[in-house]
Each structure stands twice: as C-alpha cells, then as structure tokens.
Chain A
C-alpha cells in the first residue's frame, strides 16, 4: 500500500496539468538518420540540430530519432512508424530517403515532412539543403596556397551533383591562387567507412598529395594525414577540431539547428508550408571552422575575406569565365551559375584531368 501513494499523487498531478492551459500536446519532431549519431560527421550534425530544437523549445517539443536506417525498402517503414507514433514533423536526413519520404507523406497528409538534399516536393514535403560548395571555395583557396607539391588529394563519395559541385568549386578557387595545382580524386563509394577512407587518404598521400579534402564523414583521413605528417586536411560536416591545428587547418560545418528550430516553430504556429530551401554561409547553414595557426596570416585573411564575400552575396562561388572540362564555355565573364544547373551538375570544369565515373 505504501507504494500506491506516490502513484496517486502523480495521477492527481497529471490530471491537474491536463487542464485547458496545457491542452496542446507537445509537438513531436522526428528525425531519420542514415548513420549512427556518433559518426562525428553528417549524422552527428543533424543530431546536434535535433538537440538544438530540444534546447530551444524545452517541454513544448518532444523529439524522437532513429539511427542507421538503410536507404532502401526499410526507410519507408521507419518513416511510417515514426508518423504512426504521433510525430507532427519528420526530417529525413539523407538523399536516399527521397521516394520513401514521398510515399509516407501520401499516407499521412497531416504530418509535415522535410527531406534533406532531395529534389522531389509534395504538399506536405519540403526539401532543404546547404550550399556546401561555398565552403569548398574557401577550402580550395587555402589548399591552393598551402600545397607544396601542387597535388591536392580529394576523397569523393558518390558521383552525384552535390559531390561534383564541391570538387569543381574547390578546384576553381585552388587554381585561382595557384595555377600549377592538380587534383587527384579517389571515389570511395561510401559516405562513412573509416577503413576505406583511411586507405584512400593513404593512397593519395603516396601519390604526393600534401592536402587532403574529403567528402566522406569519418575522421579516418585526418588520422591518416596526422600519421603521415606535413599533410593538411579539413574537417567535413563537423569541425573535427580534435585534429587541429595540424593536420586539420579548417573545416566546413553543417549547421542545421537554426533551420530545424524555424521549421518546428512554423508547425507550432500553423504556418508550415512546403518550401525548397538552399541556404549557404549567409544564412548560417554552412559554417567555416576556425582557420588554425598552421595557415599563414595573409592566407587566413584572404580565406576569411572570401568567406565574408560569399556570406554577404557579393561574390558567387561559380562566377565566369569558367569553361567545362571539354573546353566549351559554361559561364561567360562575370556570369554566375543558376541554381538549376548547379542542382544537377554532372560535369567537371576545365583543368580537372579525371573523368566522372559512371
């Protein structure tokens, strides 16, 4: 009988709280992750965004997540179960969830869905992504200045527009400050595989690269560069500041928190609408991590000036004259790339000697 008392007290308390003032349930926000939350990169940053939502709204919002959801037949079930569990807003945070998100959205017209990095929208499906290529421009500038061997290694994941855009942007800006620079690209065909990424980094270093850029999410290339010595790297998705000041000299940081908070607020206010968001440095979705002391002061100043120009919108990372790899003109002098071409970018620009695999 002794144990009954607190239960009753709790019940009374609960009844008291369910008065008119607290009638609204907390808004439930769900997240579907492609990797484990501890990957230190892509999923880690989305989870930081989730935690930012929790911190911002406190008890008014409840969040749930499911990690390591495969991009395939299982994704639709994971999203559907999340919607069944009462989520009001669901962020599906990887490209491969595109069709699964749309299929689930059709079954739950009252639930709002947000799909990261996709291009298919619906009445209750928004898409959002970040202009990471702006960060690549800053990275390329530092890389072009810093390389002694004039060989920059690039660990690419999959040959999709997102990755190709990043390679092009980094190359343009490295070439601008160092006409002799050459890019060596290895396709890892993974977003997250520490062993493969370490192998790729080591192979690039063996080929003479003294700058490693990565479009994969683990810190393995940082560790490989560290043990090789005299090789610089950049944090990817996350700051990876544990590897600073050398080899990690700067980073591109995904900052999803402000966007997640804004979209959650829209659901609370009842103003949510399907939108296509593509934000960059200016809106704070792409952050440039601290440039370490290993970079000379003048290079750092140049990189920071570029960052600020990209942020304010006075400079576009793809500003002509730029030719395509085959020598044909893509952008005339002073012309800037339109979002449609960038979104579907499937070609290298002039000077890159590699071929896009298919």
Chain B
C-alpha cells in the first residue's frame, strides 16, 4: 500500500528535480499522443525541443526568436513571483500588459512623427505607469475594502481587452489605415518609437534586456534585501510577519504595483517591437502564460529565467512541428497543457514523502 507522508518542509532536492521530471513525463506522454496520431514520436519531440536550437536552416532564425518570445514571459513572471511568494495573487497580468502597451504606445503616437530621442524613454515610463495603475485598482480595493485581488485583477483583464478594442478602432487608429482597426506601426513606420533589435540577428531588444535586469534585481531583492525577506516571511508565516512589523497594506501595494509595472513594461516593449501596433488581437496571452512560467520556475528568479526559455522553446518548436510535420495546432496546446499538469502533479513529491507500507490487519 502506498501512503503519502507530509514532509515538515518541502524537500530541496525534489523542488529542483520535479520540474525536470515533469518535462520528461510530458515528453513521454506527449510522445505517446503523437504516436497515436500517426506521427513519429521521436521526430516530433526532436522537432519541438531540438530543431529550434540546432536545425541548420531554422536554428539561426529560431535561437534569437527564443529570446523575443521568452522576454515578456520572464519579465511578467518575475513580477508575479514576488506577489505569489507573499500570497498575493495577481492573476490579471494580461490586463496590465495590455494597458501598459496602450498607454505607452499612446504617448509615443501623440508625438508622431517626431524624431526626438526622448520619445522612447517617455514611452517606457508611460508603459510601466499604465501597468502599475491598472494593478493599483485591485491593490487599493483590497487594502481599503478587503476585496479579493484574484477576482478583481482577473475581471480587469476583460475590461482591458475592451479598452484595447476601442483604442484600436477609435482613438489610436491609424489615420492612414483606410478605416481598418489598428494603430500606426511603431516598429515599421515610427523609428523614434520603435523597439528594434539592439544587435542585428540576436533577438536582443530592450524588453529582453529589461527581463534580464529584472531577474538580477529580483534575485538580489529576495536574497539580500529586507523587503525581500518580508515578502518571503509573509508568504511562509503571515502571523510571524505581522509580529515582526511587516505592514500588510504596504506589501500588497508593493507586490501588485511591481508586477503591474513589469507587465506594463512587457506590453510596451512588445507593442513597440515584435507586435508593432496596437491592434484588437494584441493581447496574446503572455500575461496568463507567465503564471505558468512563474510556477514552472518555482517562483525563483533563476528558475523563471530557465522556465521562460523552456516555454518559449515549446512555442517555437510547436510551430515548427506544425509546419514540418503537419501536426494540428490543438495538439501543441495539449502538449503545453500537459507540462503544467505534470508539474503540479509532481509537486506532491516535494511536499510529501511516499511510503510503501504493508496493509494493516483489520
């Protein structure tokens, strides 16, 4: 008989090993699924995990694209992880991402076609502000009225999406766009506001740089700074935290504000670079995927960095598998879903010990 025995504290070893196990389990079960669909499982897994990095035709293009795809995921996930560690659940990063893009792009477009070098920095600040302000709504409501930040932040995603549709068709619509929705293309038609590759062929744009900086800052904050200690303490032992003088309201506003600002930044860098324009379909789910990335990375800055890259790999590899092997898009989504499923399932191993015992006599 198998019995689960709760560990006094999560096993350090298993915390590191379970993500790797989850990836392996996803490969095995996913491979079985591909096999059942009549595809060669080894070729499919290789196409997803290997070809984006090392394929001679696709590799040189896909490797930089990994950074482009992972950048916003990491940036958002880092912000979310601070709150998640303290037990503050910002589920609405997607909305903050969208609002950051709208506010940031709006500031840029207001000065079209200026060539001032101050425009892009102003947009960055506006983008962060947009995300921060949107996250302050659930923050203030929680602090003042005790509302649930999970619900409020999630619902605000849908409000943000409506704002996005309205902006794309109204205020920010391209005057030269023949009446079609969508703003001017910042990346293609507005050099002063564009967030292009810093070094050609590397995929490195300001958003990726910001993501790396965020990883370092979060690491230092959590391991060296008083505020980071308070964040961890509040999550692990809320009562002890209160005795040690942590002010919950300030912590809530700090965590939500920071994650909102980082999500807003991610939106701004995306709208000024890879996406190019404020369009109805701009919200591409990064804000939700980042939640998976945060947990896949164990809420640890370095883990999130790796998890973001892994997630990006499954996206780009999944696209390649669709293209090269004719795999349906839904199969790739299923495959990504499995990854989260196995990760959560494997969590049992870090929180519990598995004991094999003989059935007790009645």
Residues of chain A at the chain B interface (Cβ within 8 Å): 36, 64-68, 70-74, 76-78, 80-82, 84-85, 95-96, 99, 102-103, 119, 158-161, 189, 343-346, 357-358
Contacts and interface: CB of A to CB of B under 8 A. Distances in A.
Contacts of A66: 319, 322-323, 329
Q: Which 4 A-B pairs have the closest CB atoms?
A: A73-B274, A68-B329, A346-B179, A358-B170
Contacts of B281: 70-72, 96
Contacts of A68: 329-330
A131 B130 CA distance: 41
A67 B328 CA distance: 7
Interface residues of B, number: 38
Interface string B257-293: 0000000000000100011110111101000000000
Contacts of A71: 279, 281
B169 A96 contact: no
Interface in B44-99: 57-58, 61-62, 65, 68
B165 A189 contact: yes
B275 A73 contact: yes
Given A71-B281, A85-B323, A344-B179, 13 more contacts: A66-B319, A70-B281, A72-B275, A73-B68, A78-B319, A81-B61, A99-B277, A158-B169, A158-B181, A161-B179, A189-B280, A345-B179, A357-B169
A92 B300 CA distance: 40
Nearest to B280: A158
B178 interface: yes
B275 A159 contact: no
A280 B174 CA distance: 28
Secondary structure type dominating chain B contacts? loop
B180 interface: yes
B61 A84 contact: yes
A76 B274 contact: yes
Nearest to A82: B323
Interface string B321-358: 01110101110000000000000000000000000000
A100 to B, nearest CB: 8
A79 to B, nearest CB: 10
A100 B330 CA distance: 23
Contact of A161 (B57, B173, B178, B320): B178
24 contacts: A36-B328, A67-B322, A70-B284, A71-B279, A72-B279, A72-B282, A76-B274, A77-B68, A77-B319, A81-B58, A81-B320, A85-B57, A85-B324, A99-B276, A102-B188, A119-B180, A158-B169, A160-B179, A160-B181, A189-B280, A344-B178, A345-B179, A357-B169, A358-B170
